[in-house]
């Protein structure tokens, strides 16, 4: 079957902002004039035009954690529109069934498997890392992927031990004074858990949003040890003690800055040469990513073996490079949309 006829039969399109339209009934991570919209996780490139979907009273399908986090991240809270869907459970939309599968990315992230009445299956990976180690490998006929690190040069040789590197660095810096850590939504909660599992015992101090997100994540089983709201009495006492890790969103300036003893640690997914490097007298950049690197993307597609791979180019600049690589090395039919 030709690529065009496979796409036509399954009725799959990608709209101008990366929304994936399936069977003219459901749109994933974008807006379209349908009754249902799937949100795979709360990152802004996956919640594009959400306010429009809400205004039109569309049902929002997401994992329970993602739906609760939307109220904090996007300031949106209308449970009457929520359709909470747990992993491995299905929800019917018109003629198709939507099933969520696990992914390691930020808390709440789901991959989406769509099952048609004629047993055609379409899968969307959304963002992921740790293929086969927390991220289920979907094996649909048509697989849709965002090739965020789609170029062969996007490889982090140290990915397997970066969590230990980060925890050791934080502990070392804590021996000199407080540490301020900057990361994007969701990554903060992942990192808090990683640090606890790897022996960081200093109390965490959180900005208001990060505190709210953490409280919700705890309801869903995440464990962070001792943490405090930055403006609470206990939080202020911990800050005065000088032994703590303050975690906040990447783009916000540290409200606690101005102390020479403070070390600043920023997490970035766009570092490939070293696990971390010093970028100032007391500032560091750590190559901690929520995404598989190029090798992880190839590994996923190789294990999935779809009849057709659709590379969603709206969220990646290297879609064409990745599609060509998969077509020639893995002998899998690909199309960039
Ligand atoms: Zn993401």
Q: Give the confidence band of 250 by pLDDT, cuts at 50, 70, 90.
A: confident
Residue 317 confidence (pLDDT): 80
Same domain for 66 and 173, yes or no, is no
Same domain for 58 and 118, yes or no, is yes
Q: Which residue has the higher pLDDT, 139 or 260?
A: 139
Say how far apart CA 124 and CA 136 lie, in whole Å: 12
In terms of residue numbers, what domain contains 201?
A: 159-286
At 191-203, the pLDDT tens digits run: 999 999 999 999 9
* Percent above pLDDT 70 for the chain: 98
Ligand 1 center–CA 118 separation, angstroms: 31
pTM across the whole model: 0.95
3-state secondary structure of 71: helix
Q: Which residue has the higher pLDDT, 249 or 140?
A: 140
Ligand 1 center–CA 175 separation, angstroms: 33
Ligand 1 center–CA 241 separation, angstroms: 35
Task: Measure Cα distances from 24 to 33, 132, 142 in Å.
Answer: 9, 31, 16
Same domain for 237 and 309, yes or no, is no
Same domain for 131 and 175, yes or no, is no
Ligand 1 center–CA 42 separation, angstroms: 7
Same domain for 37 and 60, yes or no, is yes
| CATH number for 247 | 3.40.50
Say how far apart CA 43 and CA 16 lie, in whole Å: 18
Kindly provide the residue ranges of all beta strands, DSSP E only, lying in 116-201, ordered along the sequence. Answer: 121-124, 142-145, 179-183
Say if CB 299 and CB 137 are below 8 A apart: no
What value does the mean pLDDT take over residues 278-282? 92
Same domain for 23 and 147, yes or no, is yes
Same domain for 86 and 203, yes or no, is no
Same domain for 200 and 262, yes or no, is yes
71 sits in the region (left: phi over 0; alpha: psi -120 to 50; else beta) called: alpha
pLDDT(184) > 90: no
Same domain for 50 and 113, yes or no, is yes
Same domain for 277 and 298, yes or no, is no
Among residues 270, 286, 302, the one where a domain terminates is: 286
| Structural domain count, the chain | 2
Report H helices in 175-312.
Answer: 187-197, 208-219, 233-241, 294-304
Q: Give the confidence band of 260 by pLDDT, cuts at 50, 70, 90.
A: confident
Ligand 1 center–CA 126 separation, angstroms: 7
Say how far apart CA 172 and CA 168 lie, in whole Å: 6
Ligand 1 center–CA 45 separation, angstroms: 7
Say how far apart CA 182 and CA 249 lie, in whole Å: 6
């Amino acid at each position: 079957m030709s690529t065009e006829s496979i796409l036509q039969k399954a009725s799959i399109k990608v709209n101008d902002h990366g929304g994936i339209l399936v069977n003219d009934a459901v749109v994933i991570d974008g807006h379209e004039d349908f009754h249902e919209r799937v949100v795979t996780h709360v990152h802004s490139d996956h919640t594009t035009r959400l306010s429009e979907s809400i205004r039109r009273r569309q049902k929002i399908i997401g994992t329970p954690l993602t739906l609760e986090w939307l109220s904090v991240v996007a300031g949106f809270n209308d449970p009457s529109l929520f359709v909470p869907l747990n992993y491995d459970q299905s929800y019917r939309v018109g003629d198709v069934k939507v099933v969520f599968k696990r992914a390691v990315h930020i808390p709440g992230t789901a991959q989406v498997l769509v099952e048609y009445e004629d047993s055609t299956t379409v899968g969307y990976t959304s963002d992921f890392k740790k293929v086969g180690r927390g991220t289920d490998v979907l094996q649909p006929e048509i697989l849709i992927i965002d090739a965020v690190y789609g170029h062969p040069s996007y490889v982090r040789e140290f990915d397997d031990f970066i969590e230990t590197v980060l925890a050791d660095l934080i502990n070392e810096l804590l021996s000199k004074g407080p540490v301020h850590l900057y990361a994007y939504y969701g990554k903060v909660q992942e990192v808090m858990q990683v640090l606890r599992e790897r022996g960081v015992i200093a109390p965490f101090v959180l900005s208001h949003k990060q505190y709210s997100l953490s409280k919700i994540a705890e309801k869903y089983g995440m464990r962070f040890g001792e943490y405090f709201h930055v403006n609470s009495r206990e939080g202020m006492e911990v800050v005065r003690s000088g032994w703590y890790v303050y975690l906040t969103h990447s783009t916000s300036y540290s409200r606690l800055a101005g102390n020479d003893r403070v070390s600043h640690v920023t997490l970035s997914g766009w570092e490939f040469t070293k696990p971390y490097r010093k970028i100032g007298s007391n500032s560091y950049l750590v190559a901690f990513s929520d995404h598989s690197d190029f090798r992880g993307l190839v590994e996923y597609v190789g294990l999935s073996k779809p009849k057709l791979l659709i590379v969603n180019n709206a969220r990646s600049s290297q879609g064409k490079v990745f599609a060509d690589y998969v077509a020639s090395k893995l002998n899998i039919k690909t199309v960039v949309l």
